[in-house]
Amino acid sequence: MLESLRNLKTSEIELRQQLPVLEGEWLVGRLLAKQGVASARWMGSTSRLLVEYDADLFGTAEIIAFLRYCGVLVAAVRVGLA
């Protein structure tokens, strides 16, 4: 699947709340299961996620909506090119 990802972008997402370790790991697993997500890393000590994704399939707004669906609220997002 990763070979088919072409327009990779990375977003640094700051969460509104600190997540327990198991919830952070669960959230990363949910993100990695989404088609088009190349990598996801949760940095629990800073309440941040780094998500690399195919911008041709979806954008930051869809990632934020997905996180909201998972019960996680976003405080800020920084988008950069991969």
| pLDDT digit string (tens) for the chain, length 82 residues | 455 658 899 999 999 999 998 999 999 999 999 998 999 999 877 899 999 999 998 888 999 999 999 999 999 999 885 5
Name the phi and psi angles at 49, rounded to 5.
-120, 140
CATH code of residue 35: 3.30.70.100
Task: Give the angle 78-73-76 at the CA atoms, nearest 5°.
Answer: 20
Domain that holds residue 23: 2-81
Task: Give the angle 27-75-79 at the CA atoms, nearest 5°.
Answer: 80
Give the count of domains, the chain.
1
pLDDT confidence of residue 5: 55
pLDDT confidence of residue 44: 79
What is the pTM for the complete model shown?
0.85
Structure tokens, 10: 């990375």
pLDDT confidence of residue 58: 85
pLDDT confidence of residue 80: 81
- Mark residue 40 as left, alpha or beta (left: phi above 0; alpha: psi -120 to 50; beta: remaining): beta
